[in-house]
Structure formats: structure tokens, C-alpha cells
Amino acid sequence: MLHNIRIVLVQTFHPGNIGASARAMKTMGLSDLVLVNPRCFPDSEATRLAAGAEDLVDNARVVENLEAAVTDCVQVVGASARLRSLPLPHFDEPDEMARALVENAAQDPVALVFGRERFGLTNEEIRCCSHQVSIPANPDYGVLNLAQAVQVLAHEAFRAWRRRPESGYRPALPAEDRQPSREQLGHFHDHLARVMRRSGFLTQPHARTEAQLQALFARAQPSRRELSLLRGLLASLEGQLPNE
């Protein structure tokens, strides 16, 4: 289960933070590290600060954007110090987030996403997430180092995993009843946007309506079966529209 929990670091500036984050991961049994367009990697400072977790640094995958890092994940939680304009589901308490994350990780990949040291995740990157989480801290000084934030949330995930009652373990859900991946949801949102444009409902290509609908479906959390039903409905409606 823990192997399905991925840590994603977006455009990390200091390579030492990559190594320190890897060390924080390994102490909590996590091993899947993905780096999105890091400023400097590989780097000896990352290896030095890994301090026993060099294998995680050596095996880290590097991708060009956040979408590529989480495309196969069914839940993507962005760590953010403040709420953004996109009304995604938000965990105020990390332990609540960890329980949900571990439950989904029982069968499918999930991700915890951490942004840049100076300004975190952009709104566009938040849109790649299904949820947000904040780490409660001193309101007068709530600044956490990147590796510290990774340590806190990795610990919450490890604790939720340890406390998961094996006696109440539920059998694996059929594939169609599980959460869709971000790639599957992306195809759905593309299909929905195409139908809205062709029907005349949406007249601007980047209208706020699309973002609001994405947030709505993030809160609804449809299963793969339900998403397939919605895709079928869109295909039926699309077939009634005049050709472009």
C-alpha cells in the first residue's frame, strides 16, 4: 500500500531539499519520488542530504510537468499554505487527508504534491489536483521548509497506514467501482468542454465555467462506472449536434 503513495516535488530550486525530502520519505516507508522540472538534478547536494536514502534519489523519476507526474493517480493532494480561487475539496486536518489517501492507495496510485520553496503551486497546477491540504501551524509564523512539509504529511500517511484495521479489511473493489485516474478524468473534461462549445453553451475557450465544473466533479468523486455513464450521455448528446 505504501508503495502506491507518490511524493511529487514541483520545480525544486535547492537540490538539497530533494535529498532531505527523500530522507523524510524513507523514514515513513515511502519510496516513489517524482520530480517535476527540478532546477538542478542530479546533484551531489541532493545525494549528500539524502543521508541513507540515496536509493530514492537515484531512482527518482524526472518529468516535464505535473500532469505527467500524476496521470495514473486516482487522488492527487496538493499541499498549499492557503486556499486558491479554485474551490477544490480541502482537508483542514492532515490526518483526515491521510486516511482518505491510504484508503485509495490500497488499490491505486495516489500522490502528495509539493510546490516551489518560495511560492508553492500555481493555480494551474492546483487544477491538476483532486484535493488540497494545509498543515496547521503557528498563525504568526507558519513557514515550513519543503522537506519539513514532506515529513509531516508522510508521517500522517504512515500513521494512517499503521492504524488501518486489518480485521476490517475490505475486499478489492471491482475496477469500475474504483476512482478514475487523473488521465480518465482529463478525457472526460475534454469531452465535456467539446460538447459545451459545440452546443453553444460555452462561447469562450477558457471560460470560468470549465474550472467550476471541474471542481464540481472533484467534489462529487464519481466512480469509473459513473464516469463511463457520463461519457455515454455526452456522446449521445454530441451525436445530435450539427457537424462543425
Boundaries of CATH 1.10.8.590 in the chain?
175-239
Confidence class for position 207, pLDDT limits 50, 70, 90: low
Mean pLDDT of 149-171: 84
Mean pLDDT of 171-195: 89
54 burial type by CB count under 10 A (0-12 exposed, 13-18 middle, 19+ buried):
middle
Residue 213 has pLDDT above 60, yes or no: yes
DSSP structure class, residue 43: -
CA-nearest of 218, 4, 220, 3 to 104 is 4
Residue 203 has pLDDT above 60, yes or no: yes
Percent of the chain whose pLDDT exceeds 70: 93
Provide the β-strand partners of residue 76.
111
Task: Determine if residue 91 is left, alpha or beta; phi over 0 gives left, psi from -120 to 50 gives alpha, anything else beta.
Answer: beta
Fold (topology level) of 175-239? Helicase, Ruva Protein; domain 3 (1.10.8)
| Grid cell of 10 as nine digits | 514541483
Provide the β-strand partners of residue 78.
113, 132
pTM: 0.88
Determine whether domain 2-168 maps to CATH 3.80.30.10: no
Confidence class for position 167, pLDDT limits 50, 70, 90: very low
DSSP structure class, residue 116: B
Distance of alpha carbon 66 from alpha carbon 40, whole angstroms: 17
pLDDT, tens only, 130-149: 999 999 989 888 788 999 99
- Which residues of 93-166 form beta strands (DSSP E)? 110-114, 131-133
CA-nearest of 150, 124, 200, 167 to 8 is 150
Integer angstrom CA distances of residue 51 from 10, 11, 58:
22, 22, 13
Mean pLDDT of 206-214: 79
Q: What are phi and psi of 131, to 5 degrees?
A: -145, 165
Boundaries of CATH 3.40.1280.10 in the chain?
2-168
pLDDT, tens only, 73-127: 999 999 986 555 667 888 989 999 999 999 999 999 999 999 999 888 988 898 8
Q: Is 24 strand, coil or helix? A: helix
